[in-house]
Amino acid sequence: MYHGVGQENVSLINNDEGPNATEVTNMLLTEWNWDDAKQVWREEGREEGMEKGMEKGIEQGREVVARNAIAKGVPLKLISDITGIDINTLQNIQTQQAQ
């Protein structure tokens, strides 16, 4: 009947009327494919890495803008309003640049 599934289990599966009965049945009766699973894991990892990289790049870009604006004498309040970087952080950047 179903490969690797005993008759008593098939009866239990077929009698399940829950909201996910079809999905559960398909999961139990489908062979696990490690190659497909690895591919999905790689894709998910790649997407997560891309997101983190983009976030880090945006943060670095904001800091570059802040450093350039500080060097040009732009008021810290204005830089903070534009970049979203808090005043204390901007003051630390300003102190570092003065050294």
Note whether residue 4 is domain-resident: no
Tens of pLDDT, residue by residue over 48-64, are 999 999 999 999 999 99
- Phi and psi angles of residue 18, each rounded to the nearest 5 degrees, phi first: -65, 170
DSSP 8-class letter at 30:
S
Q: pLDDT tens digits for 25-54?
A: 777 777 777 888 889 899 999 999 999 999
How many domains would you assign to the chain? 1
Report yes or no on 1 lying in a domain. no
pLDDT of residue 31: 72
Gyration radius from the chain CA atoms: 28
Q: For residue 74, tell me if it sits in a domain.
A: yes
Cβ atoms of 52 and 46 closer than 8 Å: no
Residue 93: inside a domain, yes or no?
yes
As a whole number of angstroms, the distance between CA 26 and CA 22 comes to 6
For the chain, the residue count is 99
- Please tell me the pTM assigned to this model: 0.57
Asked if the structure places residue 42 within a domain, the reply is yes
Range of 80's domain? 32-98
